[in-house]
Amino acid sequence: MRGNSVEILKFNNNEELSEKAAEVIINKINEKPKLTLGLATGSTPMQTYKNLVKAYKDGKVSFKEVITFNLDEYLGISPTNPNSYTYFMNEHLLHHVDIDENNVHIPTGVGENSEKECAQYERLIKEEGPIDLQILGMGLNGHIAFNEPGTPITARTHVVELDETTVQANSRFFNGEKELVPTHAITMGIGTIMEAKEILFLVQGEHKAEGLRKVLYGDVTEMIPASILQKHPNVTVLTDINL
Ligand code: GLP
């Protein structure tokens, strides 16, 4: 990355990467128990969450006062649906630690008025934020959260139509059945994400190598949403990709 404020940490595999990611998060919470933590879904952070659960069970960290904001949620899927991001977070982290459920924020994908839901989510982030530490992954096409290529960098939480490539990529969570993947989602905007004080950018797997190189060393362009991170003052990239 071109910015001086960006650190790139290279690991041999996802296990080592996830160990470090969990360590950073645990240290932050121990420094500031009322941490506002931005959470991401996807296969990349799963091992990190596993490590956090273990650390909690081992008495090394408590989530009692932690406030969380998830990046996104599918539209039209209820929180109890195993494919919802709410269900994902509960399964992989939230139901296994001592977090206060009143401090957990995930956009609702089944509300009557999704525009209103977006505005309310922004308001909540303003009230309880700023987000101290945002965990962030990257889609194959360079998307962050569900900000697909072409999304303005100033975007706030909004409703998006998912790219064909994203629907295809995420169909692996829906038994490979593309037709079952929702076509729309609510996502924090790029502008919202960029206001996080610190970002932990987790990118794992050779299939994302070309994308990550463009993100880190190419031009900042709305066509590769993650490239905007070059302009963030405090990003740590954790990757197992040879750059
Ligand atoms: C989804 C999520 C993103 C995530 C991306 C990559 O599209 N909305 O937040 O970063 O998937 O997921 P994975 O880690 O499974 O590659």
Residue 186 is predicted with a pLDDT of 97
pLDDT above 60 for 3: no
- Counting from 1 in the atom list of ligand 1, the atom nearest the Cα of 166 is 7
pLDDT tens digit string along 135-145? 999 999 999 99
Name the least confident of 2-16, 87-101, 206-220, 226-240: 2-16
pTM over 0.85: yes
Rounded Cα gap, residues 93 and 20, in angstroms: 17
- Give every CB contact of residue 191 below 8 A, 6+ residues apart in sequence: 153, 154, 155, 156
pLDDT above 70 for 122: yes
> Between helices 46-57 and 14-31, what is the axis angle to 10°?
50
DSSP code of residue 212: H
Domain spanning 19-129+139-221 has what CATH number?
Answer: 3.40.50.1360
Tell me how far the alpha carbon of residue 146 lies from the centroid of ligand 1, in angstroms: 8
Catalytic pick among 73, 122, 132, 148: 148
Domain ranges of the chain: 19-129+139-221
> What band does 2 get if pLDDT is binned at 50, 70 and 90?
low
Ligand 1 pocket by C-beta < 6 Å: which residues? 40-44, 71-72, 137-139, 145-146, 166, 170
